[in-house]
Structure 1
Amino acid sequence: MLLRFKRSIVVSLVVLGLSLLMVQSAWSYGHGDTKYSGFKNVIIMIPDGCDETVQTVARWYKGEDLQVDKMDGGGVKVHMANSVIPGSAAAATAFATGHKTTVRFLGVGPRTTDLLTGFTPTAEPYAPVASVIEAAKAAGKSTGIVSTSRVTHATPAAFACHIQDRGMDNEIMEHMVYNNINVVFGGGARHLIPSGNTYTTTFGAEWGGKRTDGEDLMQVLLDRGYRFVDNKDDMAELTSGNVWGLFDDSHMQPDMDRQHFATHEPSLAEMTSKAIELLAQNDNGFCLMVEGSQVDWAGHANDPVYMTRDFIAFDDAVKAACDFADQNPGTLVLAYPDHNTGGMKIGHYYTAMGYTETTIEDLVDPLKGMTITAGGLTRMMGSDTSVANIIATISLYWNIVIDETEAQEILDYDEETGAGLSYSISHVISKNHTAIGWTTHGHNGETVPLWVYGADAPAGIIDNTELALMAADAIGVDLAATTSDLYVDAATAITGTFQLDKTDPENPVLKAGVSEIPMSKDTMKFTGWDWEIELPGLAVYAPETDTVYISEKAAWIINLFN
């Protein structure tokens, strides 16, 4: 009886303490003094890997102004901590958290061994820094992530994860699930499912799992009250509640290939509209990140029609966001690329016509004849990569007639560069049959455009880290305060002793007295008690510095029990 009474007192103290700490956190937030304050909602939209060139090509292709053409414009510097040409993970970390970091890092501070000359980090090495989505969630707003890639890919991951390598998809997915994002749409279901298990979709496909830690994260989502959908019709029927919609086990299809390979998938605009509809039901507002992921992949491939059509699909999603903002004036829409990719330009060394004689038809007609991406075209070719089949398939799906010499040029480029057949087709056809040139199969480092709706764009060129501060100020949240609340060094925050149990290396657990906190989760258990509580943020382990980060609330509870 006495033990039960003591437990009751402890539980009451924990609940009271959490309530008081939440009030304290709320008081620490405040609107900035800039024009980016007083907004209820912020929608952040990323056409990954592009600049104004694809905006121009898309405008000519569509034959009318785009939505982004009608928005207030600016420019953004994109360098990361260790290179003037950024990677997507570091770029996204900058505009998600307000801190520059190292290539491949997600939501953590940079390493210090290879910093750019003159660069001073604003975050500790490998230490987690809160994103605007985490700050919005802490302030009682709903949050959402939409992408056409796996949701564990670099850009979406930077808004919900704190991991030193973007390639750790399983760990990233665990962070995303336990970060309690209200709406998630995209691809990547395989990283929810344990290896050896399968999920049978509503349209008959079998998705095999990739998780090696034995955890069934799809079941975790269901246990937490989420709905899970895998097709556009079920997504369209959603009217309320928390939901994950993953429409492929890996990446979704390019916009123009969906009709050939994945008719069950929604468009980016459809996912954006549904996410807004669900998130807007929160009277406190919402923060939504939307990525047109595959604009970047098209740039890597030097595929002009892929890049143009996926940018138009992105622009359609921007229009959906701006239409909502028109009806809900407390909404700020911020759209910008993370960097450019491929170096797409109108005009190149091999253009047959004089550059001042280039017509709309010269630019647009070759693209209008293409009915599928280069990647889709090679899928249609199958295993037959002969000169004859290359000629026939390009004629059938791209309406371009090439001869044996050009077909051999494609094969030679593939052999010389190792770029792959689809990249090689795009490169050679762009050079010989279009007015579009390319500089690289990689990223570029120039300034990228900023498009703003609901407020004026800032004057001049801004740094990509300032985009995070603009979004946070707009909805009245404080990124630095959120980082202090959610991610403190356990060694300084816990008054007693603790250890990180690595018996299971894929599932390390912090143990302090009777308290147990598994890494990459938001839960705490108590030894000998059948009791688990949900914490306000993730527990994060940084192996490079052997440091554990937990929330102030978690530390307070541990110290209460120790």
Structure 2
Amino acid sequence: MMKLNIVAAAIGVTLLAGCNDDTNTVIETVEVIVEPTPVTSVKNVILMIGDGMGAQQVGLLEEYARRAPNSIYNEQGNTTALTKLGMAGDLGLSLNAPAGANGSLVVDSACSATQLATGMAAGSEMIGLDDQGNIVATILEKAKAAGKATGLVSDTRITHATPAAFASHQPHRSLEAEIAAELISSGNVDVMLSGGARVFLPSDIKDNAAQQALMAELGAPSSVYKKSKRKDERNLFIEARDDHGYSLAFDGEQLDKLESDKVLGLFANSGMDDGIAYSACKADDSCTQPSLAEMTQKALDILSADPDGFFLMIEGGQIDWAGHDNDAGWMLHELLKFDEAVAAVYEWVKERDDTLVVVTADHETGSFGFSYSRNDLPEAQQLSGDGMQGRDYKPNFNFGALTILDRLYAQTGTFPDMRAEIEAGSGYENATGAEWAEAVNKYSDFKLNENEAASIAEREINDYYVEGHSYLSATEFPKINDFKEFYVYGDEIHSDLIGRALAKYQNVVWGTGTHTAAPVPVYAFGPKGVTSGFSQMQHHVDLGQKMMAALLPE
């Protein structure tokens, strides 16, 4: 008997052989599974950046969602949008330090975003330049040149380091007035939704009644045009509308009504509402600013109308601000706000096969973590398990009660709100421990007494004085007793001291007031032929190159 086995490029191929008296021939049907050609390119790319969102911050979000007794995710199966995206896609890690000849160990947002945007090494604090200072086309600019629609969304300022790096080219991130003009004049960004009106306003807006009336006529509330950070008399809102065809929006209602394919929406003079303020206005339906999720949805509605596809970058930028302040309660609310935006993207993309979504961070901020301690040791308790052998369950240390998660969520104001109480009263130089305790206890569910808050008030001579420096030119700094070199932001360090004072009650530790070099998570959703390449240890330069290869294949 002869058996025929043939590999065929088809499914269900029937093999027929002739018969004669000498040979018994088997007729066999061979089912061959043909692997389809992998999809390696996409029509759209959505990049979401949780600024400062390292694995530690993701852990805070997930612990709250899954295990807080009163988690707001209880009715959603205790599942975050990040988890849903990760389960449906691929997960990886990414290093993020400045690469190249002028590299260093720790990155700032400008360099990190530039490396994501260009797929090339960049230097610290530069915008849209390679590590030698050369202008490099970004993925957004290349997408625009290829006929695709483009957008930038952030809850910070549109000229802040992360969004700026995708559509501007400047030697330093602080040049926000120049960045604003470049964003408008280049015509490369179709949709810009964020805060940061202050660098679009003429320098005399505070005293110029005619300009104030003009802004009011455009529909801007006074909170948006209250001050300028420009040094000239240009009104970039007027230039954007009259010279470059942008429709303008200054609140959520105006944005919702717009039906334009070119939109500039700036909803705050500087940064937009923080996550705690957003949670409060959401609860009583009093929000006037659009949320990060609402801005995201509007951008998707506009950009997806382009038949050629789009590139969209969305930043949850205030996770980083909370991390700099060592404020765990605020940081939790920012993570929740960002996860809402991830949910909006996931709902839009989950049934599609033409879009790559990448969610990552530019870096980790604060060296945050939960930790066990010798404070408030647990009481002994009896357990029913047959392995206890008559012994009580009594751990040696305090490993952190789950109720801490609910109490972090219960915080009603940020550490900057607490500082504002002091600034409006005695001022930093004269404030007492009692005054700091009162300011903290007004907003925090964890309470301090006068003695515990005394350390927040302490100040000292700045040992690292640098004349003309934006922060280090201060002769006096809040007093940090350990790792003081890593707390750099002048009087804002009082926020970090609040974090230190509350730490023992929150089971929280912080290592720095700046960034760390920890690898950050990468979530990739889309065609498997695209996303599988993200499931590894990589660098942000690699992420940039992979996104460009998927969106703009040669």
| TM-score, structure 1 normalization | 0.72
Instruction: Work out which of the two has the higher radius of gyration on C-alpha atoms and give 1 or 2.
Output: 2
Question: CA separation of 1:415/1:350 partners in 2, compared to 1, >3 Å: closer, same or farther?
Answer: farther
1:334 aligned counterpart, secondary structure = strand
User: Is contact 1:272–1:320 with CA below 8 Å preserved after alignment?
Assistant: yes
1:167 aligned partner: 174
Shift of 1:142: 0.4
User: Is contact 1:139–1:477 with CA below 8 Å preserved after alignment?
Assistant: no
Shift of 1:36: 7.0
2:368 counterpart letter in structure 1: M
Which of 77, 80, 90 pairs up with 2:111?
90
User: Is contact 1:350–1:431 with CA below 8 Å preserved after alignment?
Assistant: no
Which of 332, 335, 350 pairs up with 1:308?
332
Give the superposed CA RMSD.
2.3
Distance in 2 between the 1:420 and 1:156 partners? Answer: 24
| TM-score, structure 2 normalization | 0.73
Show the 5 A alignment for 1:310-329: 310-329=334-353
* Consecutive unaligned residues in structure 2, runs of 5 or more: 1-36, 67-77, 206-211, 378-394, 460-476, 481-489
1:75 aligned partner: 93
1:211 counterpart letter in structure 2: R
1:216 aligned partner: 235
1:462 aligned partner: 538
2:409 counterpart letter in structure 1: K
1:91 aligned counterpart, secondary structure = helix
Distance in 2 between the 1:419 and 1:355 partners? Answer: 38
Aligned length: 431
1:227 aligned partner: 247
1:190 aligned partner: 198
More displaced, 279-288 or 410-419?
A: 410-419
* Consecutive unaligned residues in structure 1, runs of 5 or more: 1-33, 111-124, 479-562
1:52 aligned partner: 55
Distance in 1 between the 2:374 and 2:137 partners? Answer: 48
More displaced, 386-395 or 282-291?
A: 386-395
2:226 aligned counterpart, secondary structure = strand
Question: CA separation of 1:73/1:444 partners in 2, compared to 1, >3 Å: closer, same or farther?
Answer: same
1:525 aligned partner: none
User: Is contact 1:304–1:426 with CA below 8 Å preserved after alignment?
Assistant: no
User: Is contact 1:36–1:473 with CA below 8 Å preserved after alignment?
Assistant: no
More displaced, 191-200 or 316-325?
A: 191-200
Q: Deviations over 1:453-488 (max 9, x none)?
A: 12434342011111111211222256xxxxxxxxxx
Show the 5 A alignment for 1:359-438: 359-361=400-402, 363-380=404-421, 382-384=424-426, 385-412=431-458, 415-417=478-480, 418-420=490-492, 422-438=494-510
Show the 5 A alignment for 1:105-184: 105-110=126-131, 125-180=132-187, 181-184=189-192
2:458 aligned counterpart, secondary structure = helix
Q: Deviations over 1:217-254 (max 9, x none)?
A: 21121022211111011112223321111011111121
Q: Deviations over 1:394-438 (max 9, x none)?
A: 223212222111121211277314453651453224422111111
More displaced, 267-276 or 418-427?
A: 418-427
User: Is contact 1:51–1:448 with CA below 8 Å preserved after alignment?
Assistant: yes
Which of 255, 259, 278 pairs up with 1:239?
259
Question: CA separation of 1:302/1:213 partners in 2, compared to 1, >3 Å: closer, same or farther?
Answer: same
2:130 aligned counterpart, secondary structure = coil
Question: CA separation of 1:84/1:35 partners in 2, compared to 1, >3 Å: closer, same or farther?
Answer: farther
Identity rate of aligned residues, in percent? 30
Distance in 1 between the 2:340 and 2:279 partners? Answer: 17
User: Is contact 1:41–1:285 with CA below 8 Å preserved after alignment?
Assistant: yes
2:305 counterpart letter in structure 1: Q
User: Is contact 2:204–2:233 with CA below 8 Å preserved after alignment?
Assistant: no
2:478 aligned counterpart, secondary structure = helix
Question: CA separation of 1:475/1:184 partners in 2, compared to 1, >3 Å: closer, same or farther?
Answer: same
User: Is contact 1:351–1:431 with CA below 8 Å preserved after alignment?
Assistant: no
Show the 5 A alignment for 1:1-12: none
1:253 aligned partner: 273
User: Is contact 1:189–1:249 with CA below 8 Å preserved after alignment?
Assistant: yes
Question: CA separation of 1:194/1:422 partners in 2, compared to 1, >3 Å: closer, same or farther?
Answer: same
User: Is contact 2:478–2:493 with CA below 8 Å preserved after alignment?
Assistant: no
Q: Deviations over 1:32-91 (max 9, x none)?
A: xx9673311110000011211111211222332212123121000111032111111111
Q: Deviations over 1:508-557 (max 9, x none)?
A: xxxxxxxxxxxxxxxxxxxxxxxxxxxxxxxxxxxxxxxxxxxxxxxxxx
Show the 5 A alignment for 1:320-359: 320-347=344-371, 352-353=376-377, 358-359=399-400
